[in-house]
Chains A and B, each alone.
Chain A
């Protein structure tokens, strides 16, 4: 049984302009100890997906589908069970920018907080464990007495990681965890995450818009566009040989150092991601797609097999001669 099994997840926000579908049918699985990356531009629904995994969306959002964590559906759990699962079952490393940590609490206390909540230990013991976690992420133990504003961006991110490990969860979701950092710090933090997760056998769901980072950190990769997964498969293969034009565009936008083919100007993709409230018909990507065909505007695309352990929702992966019309 997979650790995480997301089935046909759909999330719709209520806004002043009416309902806005942010996630339009996503299926994912993640086994224990596995690493899965989710790539996409802003607005594709990946952060919504992350928050939904622990039911952290505002009450006005409508959610359908199932999120099975160790076999239990997060979306229908009782509040008590949900609160117990939060952090102890799965935890999130947010983008640690100024506001993800409480500015008026010391860092050690913030790491100790979930420990005291979930494990009923005394404060002194929880703080001791917090200090140990800090050393494991490469910070000196005395930093537990620091406030968030006294730390640099990289250090705050390490605190977030230490905090996420505090209750030994089985799954960690890293939502744009390295996005705001300098490149050198980014590399360090990524190494830290991957080594800690591998050591402890924790499953990792890493979300980023940077496909090159994901391809080197995760074993498998899913690309999201306009609220849906448009391609999924082993990370290196997907990055090297994308089957969906959007994945191809994302990969081309982040050239690999040392790759002679990428030495030209990185080719960007014109246009903007579609407004979630007004998604184009057929394949949502067709207005921007450089390889669009006439039937792309009318065919209901699904994730079709596109190679061994690969799926992509593009009509081009279908065997020639079988065209599907919108039903």
Chain B
């Protein structure tokens, strides 16, 4: 009982007015208002993570560029049979060779195609594979994690043993095996990455599920007759989601790296342009020993920038959801 309360009644919500019927009697409106407020709070906290903002801006630019590629460039330049330039030309502004510089901003590859164009279009594959593989991994991981956390007992033991096994297993070795066996397509790569990346998320989600399920309102829901599905989807999942978001972002970073790696090893889809594939061809065609630095640097830097941006965003998200990590 504080001495500081004044005599005025608490302010009424801004939405009600004498003329309109009170919209706040609808639970949906309350829920949406709360969500908007939570989102505003989240953005305010996120903005304070400077590195995260940089990462977000970078990602936005890259995604826009990747999506706009068909609109702003001519895809015919990707066709090997219609390559516009000569083999391994240095960038147009580079006077020191090797070889004579052509008219391309970032030089050409071993078939004469523009490296800049290839890199731009490569973004599409890398981002596509990165995001879909991550969605697959997060999907499996969330399912396993929530099930193990919710049901407990032998279900949890079995699932967690399998999860731990996947965590310890060398990811690249398993991914290589899968990709080699299933044939070189984009779907294969997505599956290979997804199947090898879900375990970390599963463990995280299980821990969070256990924490959420210990809260009293879950007990109340059960007492009111909530079934397993209802509990897991309506109560546990929304509380677990913020953690999943940070984890997802970091997983995309890993997935992009994994895609580049698998493509470099020759397991990617040969019909599509990807950064890993470019580096693989650079290696195979002797561009490295030739000294064609533009061919080597550009796709690699592209990978680095994309992965770094996702990592910065992921770390910023972690800091927002776990205040203990802020200011690190």
On A, residues with C-beta under 8 Å from B are 270-272, 287-288
What is the CB-to-nearest-CB distance from A253 to chain B, in angstroms, rounded to a whole number?
15
What residue of chain B has the Cβ atom nearest to residue A272's Cβ? Answer: B2
The interface residues of chain A lying within 8 Å CB-to-CB of B1 are 270
CA distance A287 to B2 in the complex (A): 10
CA distance A54 to B2 in the complex (A): 37
Of B1, B2, B3, B4, most A-chain CB atoms within 10 Å: B3
10 pairs, CB–CB < 8 Å, chain A vs chain B? A270-B1, A270-B2, A270-B3, A271-B2, A271-B3, A271-B4, A272-B2, A287-B3, A287-B4, A288-B3
What is the CB-to-nearest-CB distance from B3 to chain A, in angstroms, rounded to a whole number?
5
What is the CB-to-nearest-CB distance from A290 to chain B, in angstroms, rounded to a whole number?
10
What is the CB-to-nearest-CB distance from B38 to chain A, in angstroms, rounded to a whole number?
22
Dominant SS among interface residues on chain A: loop
CA distance A287 to B4 in the complex (A): 8
What residue of chain B has the Cβ atom nearest to residue A287's Cβ? Answer: B3
A-contact bits for B1-34, CB 8 A (1 contact / 0 none):
1111000000000000000000000000000000
The interface residues of chain B lying within 8 Å CB-to-CB of A272 are 2
What is the CB-to-nearest-CB distance from A178 to chain B, in angstroms, rounded to a whole number?
29
How many positions in chain B have a CB within 8 Å of any CB in the partner chain? Answer: 4
CA distance A272 to B3 in the complex (A): 9
CA distance A287 to B3 in the complex (A): 8
The interface residues of chain B lying within 8 Å CB-to-CB of A270 are 1-3
CA distance A270 to B4 in the complex (A): 10
What is the CB-to-nearest-CB distance from A185 to chain B, in angstroms, rounded to a whole number?
30
CA distance A270 to B5 in the complex (A): 12
Q: A271-B3, A287-B4, A288-B3 are in contact. List 7 more A-B contacts (CB 8 A).
A: A270-B1, A270-B2, A270-B3, A271-B2, A271-B4, A272-B2, A287-B3
- 4 tightest Cβ-Cβ pairs between the two chains A and B: A271-B3, A271-B2, A270-B1, A270-B3
What residue of chain A has the Cβ atom nearest to residue B327's Cβ? Answer: A16
The interface residues of chain A lying within 8 Å CB-to-CB of B3 are 270-271, 287-288
What residue of chain B has the Cβ atom nearest to residue A290's Cβ? Answer: B3
What is the CB-to-nearest-CB distance from B219 to chain A, in angstroms, rounded to a whole number?
29
What residue of chain A has the Cβ atom nearest to residue B2's Cβ? Answer: A271
The interface residues of chain B lying within 8 Å CB-to-CB of A287 are 3-4
What is the CB-to-nearest-CB distance from A274 to chain B, in angstroms, rounded to a whole number?
11
What is the CB-to-nearest-CB distance from A48 to chain B, in angstroms, rounded to a whole number?
21
What is the CB-to-nearest-CB distance from A15 to chain B, in angstroms, rounded to a whole number?
12
CA distance A271 to B1 in the complex (A): 7
What residue of chain B has the Cβ atom nearest to residue A269's Cβ? Answer: B3
What residue of chain B has the Cβ atom nearest to residue A268's Cβ? Answer: B1
What is the CB-to-nearest-CB distance from B325 to chain A, in angstroms, rounded to a whole number?
16
CA distance A270 to B2 in the complex (A): 6
The interface residues of chain B lying within 8 Å CB-to-CB of A288 are 3
What is the CB-to-nearest-CB distance from B45 to chain A, in angstroms, rounded to a whole number?
13
What residue of chain A has the Cβ atom nearest to residue B48's Cβ? Answer: A16
The interface residues of chain A lying within 8 Å CB-to-CB of B4 are 271, 287
What is the CB-to-nearest-CB distance from A249 to chain B, in angstroms, rounded to a whole number?
13
CA distance A270 to B1 in the complex (A): 6
CA distance A275 to B194 in the complex (A): 51
What is the CB-to-nearest-CB distance from A206 to chain B, in angstroms, rounded to a whole number?
31
What is the CB-to-nearest-CB distance from A16 to chain B, in angstroms, rounded to a whole number?
9
What is the CB-to-nearest-CB distance from B308 to chain A, in angstroms, rounded to a whole number?
28
What is the CB-to-nearest-CB distance from B49 to chain A, in angstroms, rounded to a whole number?
14
CA distance A271 to B2 in the complex (A): 5
What is the CB-to-nearest-CB distance from B87 to chain A, in angstroms, rounded to a whole number?
58
What is the CB-to-nearest-CB distance from A246 to chain B, in angstroms, rounded to a whole number?
14
What is the CB-to-nearest-CB distance from A266 to chain B, in angstroms, rounded to a whole number?
15
CA distance A288 to B4 in the complex (A): 9
What is the CB-to-nearest-CB distance from B290 to chain A, in angstroms, rounded to a whole number?
55
What residue of chain A has the Cβ atom nearest to residue B4's Cβ? Answer: A271
What is the CB-to-nearest-CB distance from A231 to chain B, in angstroms, rounded to a whole number?
22
